[in-house]
Amino acid sequence: QSVLTQPPSVSAAPGQKVTISCSGSSSNIGNNYVSWYQQLPGTAPKLLIYDNNKRPSGIPDRFSGSKSGTSATLGITGLQTGDEADYYCGTWDSSLSAHVVFGGGTKLTVL
Amino acid sequence: QVQLVESGGGLVKPGGSLRLSCAASGFTFSDYYMSWIRQAPGKGLEWVSYISSSGSTIYYADSVKGRFTISRDNAKNSLYLQMNSLRAEDTAVYYCARDYIAVAAFDIWGQGTMVTVSS
């Protein structure tokens, strides 16, 4: 069971908007920056969002991130079939010993 | 071209050892914190270990503490993971990843190397 909780799956039609939630605690999301990753089938993960809401160079502004308290959210607008992938949130956790934690992943289906 | 290339994976028996390597190119390797992250077949991402740019600070996941050792050679632009006492549950694709700004934001990933622990 993952330290960060994500819904197993979400779905939406092309062109629509979808949000993916990531719930944690004060030892991780509540006091650290959140990152989001996209993993297309058979490939390595790709950084989409860092520092809660910043996009690396080359990531379209259709992808957005936000954080409130101990939860974070990834938003994707103008859905495309190419967005079908697994999405993961991640952050530091400073509970007993410093370590990195990820959510269990959310499978996005673009109907 | 900024890239990471892992090697060293393979099939090993339970209790055996394996050493993974990650060759970095296209950036100043010694400036960045690095991590190993794994993904069991059909499962999610699991962080394994983290090393600071100088190698002076190291963290491990509880699941590998005492069995795995992370290290780096900045002169060779290389990251390593020595894995001992391997178990079936260590079977996974192992990725090395660069931490963009030392806040667990991994912006560069290798292609991964598969480790299979089986008798």
- Of the pLDDT bands very low, low, confident and very high (cuts 50, 70, 90), residue A110 is very high
What is the per-residue pLDDT across A3-56, written as a single tens digit (0 to 9) for each? 999 999 999 999 999 999 999 999 999 999 999 999 999 999 999 999 999 999
CB spacing of B35 vs A100 below 8 angstroms: yes
What is the per-residue pLDDT across B63-84, written as a single tens digit (0 to 9) for each? 999 999 999 999 999 999 999 9
Interface test with B, best of A38, A92, A100, A106 (most B CBs within 10 A): A100
Percent of chain B with pLDDT over 90: 96
What is the per-residue pLDDT across A50-96, written as a single tens digit (0 to 9) for each? 999 999 999 999 999 999 999 999 999 999 999 999 999 999 998 87
pLDDT recorded at residue A96: 73
Question: Burial code of A40-67, b = ≥16 C-beta within 10 A, e = fewer?
Answer: eeeebbbbbbbebbebeeebeeebbbeb
What is the per-residue pLDDT across B33-59, written as a single tens digit (0 to 9) for each? 999 999 999 999 999 999 999 999 999
CA dihedral A101, B16, B10, B67 (to 10 degrees): 20
Handedness of CA A68, B51, B59, B110 (dihedral sign): positive
Nearest to B105 among A50, A86, A105 (CB): A50
pLDDT recorded at residue A2: 86
Handedness of CA A105, A27, A75, B34 (dihedral sign): negative
Q: Is B42 on the interface with A (CB under 8 A)?
A: no
pLDDT recorded at residue B103: 83
Q: Is the pLDDT of residue B102 over 80?
A: no
- Across chain A, mean pLDDT equals 96
pLDDT recorded at residue A1: 80
Q: Is B100 on the interface with A (CB under 8 A)?
A: yes
